Amino acid sequence: MSDAFFRIRPQTGVEPSPAVVAFGILGNRPNPFNPMTQIDYILENSSAIYLRIYDISGKVVKTLVHQTLSAGKHAAAWNGEDESGKPVVSGVYVCRLEAAGKSDVRKIVLLK
């Protein structure tokens, strides 16, 4: 008999609790989006943050938030425009949250 690649654990009737997220991007909705999406994120401490949108080449497309915020849940909206107010093309973008030496990224899809 060969070694098993998994283990069967006895059923306890208790589901494991989901991990508590204290920092990061919780997601955006809708995704894909057109013309607007809301990005939800959480901060574990009050801190200065950046929430930016990047294109796939790594260029900053739009800075959505650059300020000090309190700990807790927050939201920002992106309307698919760049820093100059021009609409960006359809595609995959990266949303990056930076605060207190930490960062988190999520993919966002704009479909026109």
CATH of domain 24-110: 2.60.40.4070
Tokens of 6: 């998994």
pTM of the model: 0.80
The domain limits of the chain are: 24-110
- Model confidence pLDDT, tens digit, residues 65-109: 999 999 999 999 999 999 999 999 999 999 999 999 999 999 999
**Is 90 exceeded by the pLDDT of residue 50?**
yes
